[in-house]
Amino acid sequence: MFEALRGSGIQILLGVNDANIEQLAQSYTIANDWVEKNIRSYWPDVHFRYIAVGNEAIPNSYASFVLPAIENLHSALSYGELWQRIKVTAIISPSVLDSCFPPSAEFFPWLSLHHDHR
């Protein structure tokens, strides 16, 4: 599919299947292999903008693996400075929100903040 997008200039959000989250969380090597196969093989001809880890993996049985998977993928993108061009994020179910209005009233007790000081 990405072959058809080569040179198109279309920005891509690439998703990670829920079934792959645990493996990506447990091993930098697996995350690096995933990035090599799915991103670097097509870069820069295909313009990846985001990687979304899971589809509403929070809340479900993969929730505890989401942040480590994001960290490993982010680290794997650091080679060649792709981390500056491709952001890694997660799709979170609205069901985890206690109150949605106003947005400033929302509280995320399960969220662990992480900042990369590169």
Q: In angstroms, rounded to a whole number, what is the distance separating the alpha carbons of residues 7 and 24?
A: 29
* Contact (Cβ atoms closer than 8 angstroms) between residue 90 and residue 70: yes
Structural domain contains residue 92: yes
Dihedral class, residue 81 (left if φ above 0, else alpha if ψ from -120 to 50, else beta): left
> Is the model's pLDDT at 118 over the cut of 50?
no
Structural domain contains residue 51: yes
Structural domain contains residue 118: no
Q: In angstroms, rounded to a whole number, what is the distance separating the alpha carbons of residues 58 and 18?
A: 10
In three-state secondary structure terms, 18 is helix
* Contact (Cβ atoms closer than 8 angstroms) between residue 73 and residue 24: yes
Structural domain contains residue 66: yes
Going by the DSSP 8-state scheme, the letter that residue 9 receives in this structure is -
> Is the model's pLDDT at 117 over the cut of 80?
no
pLDDT at residue 87, rounded to an integer: 92
- Answering whether pTM is above 0.85, one says no
Cα separations in angstroms, 19 against 14, 63, 66: 15, 12, 11
How buried is residue 18: exposed, middle or buried, by Cβ count under 10 Å (0-12/13-18/19+)? middle
Average of per-residue pLDDT values in the chain = 82
Structural domain contains residue 115: no
Structural domain contains residue 111: no
Instruction: Tally the domains of the chain.
Output: 1
Range of the structural domain that residue 6 is part of: 2-105
Structural domain contains residue 32: yes
pLDDT at residue 108, rounded to an integer: 59
Q: Which two tokens stand for residue 46?
A: 């295909």
